[in-house]
Structure 1
Amino acid sequence: MSELTCYYEEPEAVEYLSLRQEVKMGSRSLSGAQKGLGNALFSVVFRDEQQQLIAMGRVIGDDGLAYMVTDVVVKPDYQGQGLAKGIMAEIMRYLEREAAPEAYICLIADVPANQLYEQFGFKETAPSSVAMFIKNKA
Protein backbone atom coordinates (compact mmCIF):
# COMPACT_ATOMS: atom_id res chain seq x y z
CA MET A 1 0.00 0.00 0.00
CA SER A 2 1.07 3.56 -0.59
CA GLU A 3 2.31 6.01 2.03
CA LEU A 4 -0.54 7.84 3.78
CA THR A 5 -0.49 11.30 5.30
CA CYS A 6 -2.77 12.66 8.03
CA TYR A 7 -4.26 16.14 7.62
CA TYR A 8 -6.49 18.22 9.87
CA GLU A 9 -8.89 19.50 7.23
CA GLU A 10 -12.34 18.75 5.94
CA PRO A 11 -12.56 16.80 2.71
CA GLU A 12 -14.03 18.29 -0.43
CA ALA A 13 -17.74 17.59 -0.76
CA VAL A 14 -17.44 15.47 -3.91
CA GLU A 15 -14.74 13.20 -2.48
CA TYR A 16 -16.65 12.89 0.79
CA LEU A 17 -19.76 11.75 -1.09
CA SER A 18 -17.71 9.34 -3.18
CA LEU A 19 -16.12 7.77 -0.08
CA ARG A 20 -19.52 7.38 1.61
CA GLN A 21 -20.88 5.72 -1.52
CA GLU A 22 -17.91 3.36 -1.79
CA VAL A 23 -18.45 2.05 1.73
CA LYS A 24 -22.25 2.06 1.39
CA MET A 25 -22.83 4.56 4.20
CA GLY A 26 -25.88 6.13 2.58
CA SER A 27 -26.29 9.06 0.28
CA ARG A 28 -26.15 12.74 1.12
CA SER A 29 -26.79 15.71 -1.13
CA LEU A 30 -23.97 17.73 -2.63
CA SER A 31 -25.43 20.96 -1.25
CA GLY A 32 -25.74 19.40 2.21
CA ALA A 33 -22.15 18.15 2.11
CA GLN A 34 -20.86 21.53 0.91
CA LYS A 35 -22.64 23.30 3.76
CA GLY A 36 -22.06 20.74 6.49
CA LEU A 37 -18.41 19.79 6.03
CA GLY A 38 -17.18 23.32 6.63
CA ASN A 39 -19.15 23.52 9.88
CA ALA A 40 -17.37 20.63 11.60
CA LEU A 41 -15.54 21.47 14.81
CA PHE A 42 -12.72 19.09 13.90
CA SER A 43 -11.89 16.99 10.85
CA VAL A 44 -9.11 14.52 10.22
CA VAL A 45 -8.39 12.86 6.88
CA PHE A 46 -5.84 10.42 5.54
CA ARG A 47 -4.69 10.84 1.95
CA ASP A 48 -2.47 8.73 -0.26
CA GLU A 49 0.52 9.94 -2.29
CA GLN A 50 -1.84 11.17 -5.04
CA GLN A 51 -3.83 13.12 -2.42
CA GLN A 52 -6.82 10.81 -2.79
CA LEU A 53 -9.09 10.62 0.25
CA ILE A 54 -8.55 7.26 1.97
CA ALA A 55 -10.11 7.73 5.41
CA MET A 56 -11.72 10.40 7.55
CA GLY A 57 -13.56 11.32 10.73
CA ARG A 58 -15.27 14.43 12.08
CA VAL A 59 -16.54 16.01 15.28
CA ILE A 60 -19.65 18.17 15.10
CA GLY A 61 -21.54 19.98 17.83
CA ASP A 62 -21.97 23.24 19.68
CA ASP A 63 -18.35 23.46 20.93
CA GLY A 64 -19.38 23.66 24.55
CA LEU A 65 -22.04 21.28 25.78
CA ALA A 66 -22.43 18.62 23.11
CA TYR A 67 -20.12 16.89 20.65
CA MET A 68 -20.82 14.09 18.20
CA VAL A 69 -18.24 11.88 16.53
CA THR A 70 -19.37 11.15 12.97
CA ASP A 71 -18.25 10.02 9.53
CA VAL A 72 -15.46 7.72 10.70
CA VAL A 73 -14.88 5.86 7.45
CA VAL A 74 -12.04 4.01 5.70
CA LYS A 75 -11.91 2.91 2.06
CA PRO A 76 -12.41 -0.86 1.80
CA ASP A 77 -8.91 -1.53 0.38
CA TYR A 78 -7.37 0.13 3.45
CA GLN A 79 -9.55 -1.39 6.17
CA GLY A 80 -7.89 -3.57 8.79
CA GLN A 81 -4.69 -1.47 8.86
CA GLY A 82 -5.46 0.61 11.96
CA LEU A 83 -6.64 3.75 10.17
CA ALA A 84 -9.96 3.94 12.02
CA LYS A 85 -8.07 3.58 15.28
CA GLY A 86 -5.71 6.37 14.20
CA ILE A 87 -8.65 8.60 13.31
CA MET A 88 -10.24 7.96 16.70
CA ALA A 89 -6.96 8.68 18.48
CA GLU A 90 -6.79 12.08 16.75
CA ILE A 91 -10.44 12.78 17.57
CA MET A 92 -9.92 11.85 21.21
CA ARG A 93 -6.88 14.16 21.45
CA TYR A 94 -9.03 16.98 20.10
CA LEU A 95 -11.85 16.23 22.55
CA GLU A 96 -9.50 15.95 25.53
CA ARG A 97 -8.05 19.35 24.62
CA GLU A 98 -11.29 21.17 23.72
CA ALA A 99 -14.30 19.60 25.43
CA ALA A 100 -15.19 20.58 28.99
CA PRO A 101 -15.32 17.71 31.52
CA GLU A 102 -19.14 17.95 31.70
CA ALA A 103 -19.64 17.98 27.93
CA TYR A 104 -21.71 15.19 26.38
CA ILE A 105 -19.79 13.28 23.70
CA CYS A 106 -21.74 10.77 21.64
CA LEU A 107 -21.68 8.70 18.47
CA ILE A 108 -23.81 6.13 16.72
CA ALA A 109 -21.86 2.95 16.06
CA ASP A 110 -22.57 0.33 13.45
CA VAL A 111 -21.84 -3.22 14.59
CA PRO A 112 -19.03 -4.39 14.72
CA ALA A 113 -17.44 -0.88 14.76
CA ASN A 114 -18.77 -0.47 18.29
CA GLN A 115 -15.79 -2.59 19.40
CA LEU A 116 -13.43 0.11 18.12
CA TYR A 117 -15.24 2.88 19.99
CA GLU A 118 -15.30 0.86 23.21
CA GLN A 119 -11.47 0.93 23.12
CA PHE A 120 -11.74 4.72 23.50
CA GLY A 121 -14.13 4.60 26.44
CA PHE A 122 -17.48 4.85 24.68
CA LYS A 123 -20.22 2.74 26.26
CA GLU A 124 -23.65 1.62 25.08
CA THR A 125 -26.47 3.59 26.65
CA ALA A 126 -29.21 0.95 26.28
CA PRO A 127 -31.45 0.07 27.95
CA SER A 128 -31.63 3.40 29.83
CA SER A 129 -31.52 5.30 26.54
CA VAL A 130 -31.48 4.49 22.84
CA ALA A 131 -30.23 6.23 19.73
CA MET A 132 -33.00 7.68 17.61
CA PHE A 133 -33.16 9.60 14.34
CA ILE A 134 -35.55 11.07 11.84
CA LYS A 135 -34.87 11.55 8.17
CA ASN A 136 -36.01 14.85 6.71
CA LYS A 137 -38.67 14.27 4.07
CA ALA A 138 -37.90 17.49 2.16
Structure 2
Amino acid sequence: MKHENPDYLLHIGTPSVEDYRRLREVSGLSPKSQHAAEKGLPNTIFAATIIYHAETVAMGRIVGDDGCFYQIVDIAVDPAHQGKGLGKIVVASLVDFVQAEAPDGAYVSLIADGPARYLYAKFGFEPVSPESIGMALRIQRS
Protein backbone atom coordinates (compact mmCIF):
# COMPACT_ATOMS: atom_id res chain seq x y z
CA MET A 1 0.00 0.00 0.00
CA LYS A 2 1.52 3.29 -1.06
CA HIS A 3 0.78 6.78 0.17
CA GLU A 4 -0.34 9.36 -2.36
CA ASN A 5 2.31 11.78 -1.09
CA PRO A 6 5.75 10.64 -2.31
CA ASP A 7 7.39 12.48 0.63
CA TYR A 8 6.16 9.63 2.86
CA LEU A 9 8.32 6.54 2.44
CA LEU A 10 7.48 3.12 3.88
CA HIS A 11 10.58 1.54 5.37
CA ILE A 12 10.67 -2.08 6.49
CA GLY A 13 12.81 -2.24 9.59
CA THR A 14 12.81 -1.63 13.32
CA PRO A 15 12.88 2.01 14.39
CA SER A 16 15.88 3.34 16.28
CA VAL A 17 15.63 3.46 20.06
CA GLU A 18 15.37 7.25 19.89
CA ASP A 19 12.62 7.25 17.23
CA TYR A 20 10.75 4.49 19.05
CA ARG A 21 10.73 6.31 22.37
CA ARG A 22 9.84 9.66 20.79
CA LEU A 23 6.98 8.27 18.70
CA ARG A 24 5.48 6.40 21.64
CA GLU A 25 5.48 9.56 23.73
CA VAL A 26 4.22 12.07 21.14
CA SER A 27 1.44 9.74 20.01
CA GLY A 28 0.14 9.21 23.54
CA LEU A 29 1.39 5.66 24.15
CA SER A 30 3.02 4.89 27.47
CA PRO A 31 6.67 5.93 27.60
CA LYS A 32 9.38 3.27 27.58
CA SER A 33 12.80 3.67 29.19
CA GLN A 34 16.02 3.70 27.22
CA HIS A 35 16.94 0.37 28.83
CA ALA A 36 13.61 -1.28 27.98
CA ALA A 37 13.76 -0.08 24.36
CA GLU A 38 17.36 -1.21 23.94
CA LYS A 39 16.45 -4.64 25.32
CA GLY A 40 13.14 -5.08 23.50
CA LEU A 41 13.63 -3.70 20.01
CA PRO A 42 16.16 -6.35 18.87
CA ASN A 43 13.46 -8.98 19.51
CA THR A 44 11.21 -7.52 16.82
CA ILE A 45 10.01 -10.10 14.31
CA PHE A 46 8.97 -7.50 11.74
CA ALA A 47 8.54 -3.74 11.77
CA ALA A 48 7.49 -0.96 9.47
CA THR A 49 8.14 2.75 9.76
CA ILE A 50 7.18 5.72 7.65
CA ILE A 51 9.82 8.32 6.95
CA TYR A 52 9.00 11.94 6.07
CA HIS A 53 11.94 14.16 5.08
CA ALA A 54 14.42 11.91 6.95
CA GLU A 55 12.26 11.81 10.12
CA THR A 56 10.42 8.72 11.35
CA VAL A 57 6.78 9.78 11.73
CA ALA A 58 4.96 6.44 12.08
CA MET A 59 5.75 2.91 13.19
CA GLY A 60 4.42 -0.50 14.07
CA ARG A 61 6.01 -3.79 15.13
CA ILE A 62 5.28 -7.48 15.41
CA VAL A 63 6.62 -9.42 18.39
CA GLY A 64 6.09 -13.02 19.44
CA ASP A 65 7.56 -16.47 18.94
CA ASP A 66 7.56 -16.32 15.11
CA GLY A 67 5.59 -19.53 14.79
CA CYS A 68 2.54 -19.94 16.99
CA PHE A 69 1.91 -16.41 18.27
CA TYR A 70 2.35 -12.92 16.88
CA GLN A 71 1.32 -9.67 18.52
CA ILE A 72 0.99 -6.36 16.73
CA VAL A 73 2.30 -3.57 18.97
CA ASP A 74 3.55 0.02 18.93
CA ILE A 75 1.24 1.41 16.26
CA ALA A 76 2.08 5.09 16.56
CA VAL A 77 1.79 8.13 14.29
CA ASP A 78 3.25 11.53 15.11
CA PRO A 79 0.25 13.85 15.74
CA ALA A 80 1.57 16.29 13.12
CA HIS A 81 1.07 13.55 10.52
CA GLN A 82 -2.15 11.92 11.74
CA GLY A 83 -5.23 11.77 9.54
CA LYS A 84 -3.22 10.97 6.41
CA GLY A 85 -3.65 7.20 6.34
CA LEU A 86 -0.18 6.45 7.69
CA GLY A 87 -1.45 4.12 10.41
CA LYS A 88 -3.37 2.17 7.79
CA ILE A 89 -0.21 1.79 5.69
CA VAL A 90 1.78 0.55 8.68
CA VAL A 91 -0.90 -1.94 9.76
CA ALA A 92 -1.31 -3.17 6.17
CA SER A 93 2.42 -3.85 6.02
CA LEU A 94 2.33 -5.82 9.29
CA VAL A 95 -0.73 -7.83 8.24
CA ASP A 96 0.83 -8.54 4.83
CA PHE A 97 3.85 -9.97 6.66
CA VAL A 98 1.88 -12.36 8.86
CA GLN A 99 -0.36 -13.39 5.97
CA ALA A 100 2.73 -14.31 3.94
CA GLU A 101 5.05 -15.67 6.63
CA ALA A 102 3.10 -17.00 9.62
CA PRO A 103 2.42 -20.75 9.66
CA ASP A 104 -1.09 -22.14 9.29
CA GLY A 105 -2.97 -21.77 12.57
CA ALA A 106 -0.83 -18.92 13.92
CA TYR A 107 -2.64 -16.61 16.34
CA VAL A 108 -2.21 -12.89 15.65
CA SER A 109 -3.38 -10.57 18.40
CA LEU A 110 -3.36 -6.90 19.36
CA ILE A 111 -4.85 -4.55 21.89
CA ALA A 112 -7.11 -1.97 20.27
CA ASP A 113 -7.41 1.32 22.15
CA GLY A 114 -10.45 3.47 21.48
CA PRO A 115 -11.36 4.07 17.84
CA ALA A 116 -8.29 2.17 16.60
CA ARG A 117 -10.56 -0.91 16.67
CA TYR A 118 -12.21 0.35 13.49
CA LEU A 119 -8.87 0.47 11.67
CA TYR A 120 -7.96 -3.04 12.81
CA ALA A 121 -11.40 -4.40 11.87
CA LYS A 122 -10.67 -3.39 8.25
CA PHE A 123 -7.88 -5.98 8.30
CA GLY A 124 -10.01 -8.78 9.72
CA PHE A 125 -9.35 -8.39 13.44
CA GLU A 126 -12.38 -9.18 15.59
CA PRO A 127 -13.13 -8.74 19.28
CA VAL A 128 -12.48 -11.91 21.29
CA SER A 129 -15.08 -11.12 23.97
CA PRO A 130 -17.18 -12.47 25.53
CA GLU A 131 -15.35 -15.81 25.12
CA SER A 132 -12.05 -14.16 26.12
CA ILE A 133 -10.97 -10.86 27.59
CA GLY A 134 -7.69 -9.02 27.25
CA MET A 135 -5.69 -8.93 30.43
CA ALA A 136 -2.41 -7.23 31.31
CA LEU A 137 0.14 -7.01 34.10
CA ARG A 138 2.27 -3.88 34.18
CA ILE A 139 5.58 -4.13 35.96
CA GLN A 140 6.24 -0.99 37.99
CA ARG A 141 9.72 -0.64 39.45
CA SER A 142 10.56 2.36 41.59
2:30 matched to 1:22?
Answer: no
**TM-score with structure 2 setting the length:** 0.92
How far, CA to CA, are the matches of 1:4 and 1:38 in structure 2? 25
Q: Which amino acid aligns with 1:75?
A: D
Q: 2:68 aligns with which of 65, 69, 83?
A: 65
Structure 2 unaligned regions, length at least 5: none
Report the CA distance shift for 1:2/1:99 in structure 2 as closer, same or farther (over 3 A).
closer
Contact 1:2 1:48 survives alignment (8 Å):
no
TM-score by length of 1: 0.95
3-state SS of 1:38 partner: helix
Change (3 A) 1:48 1:107: same
Q: Which residue, out of 7, 12, 17, partners 2:16?
A: 12
1-structure distance, mates of 2:55, 2:140: 33
Q: How does 1:30-109 map to 2 (within 5 A)?
A: 30-49=34-53, 51-109=54-112
Q: Match of 1:68, as an amino acid?
A: Q
Q: Which contiguous aligned blocks of 4+ residues in structure 1 show a shift greater than 4 angstroms?
A: none
In structure 2, what is the Cα distance between the partners aligned to 1:85 and 1:21?
20
SS in 1 for 2:134: coil
CA distance in 2, matches of 1:15, 1:89: 21
Q: Contact (CA 8 Å) 1:39, 1:60: kept in 2 or not?
A: yes
Deviation at 1:52, TM superposition (A): 0.9
Residue in 2 aligned with 1:116? 119
- SS of equivalent to 2:40: helix
For structure 1, which runs of at least 5 residues remain unmatched after alignment? Answer: none
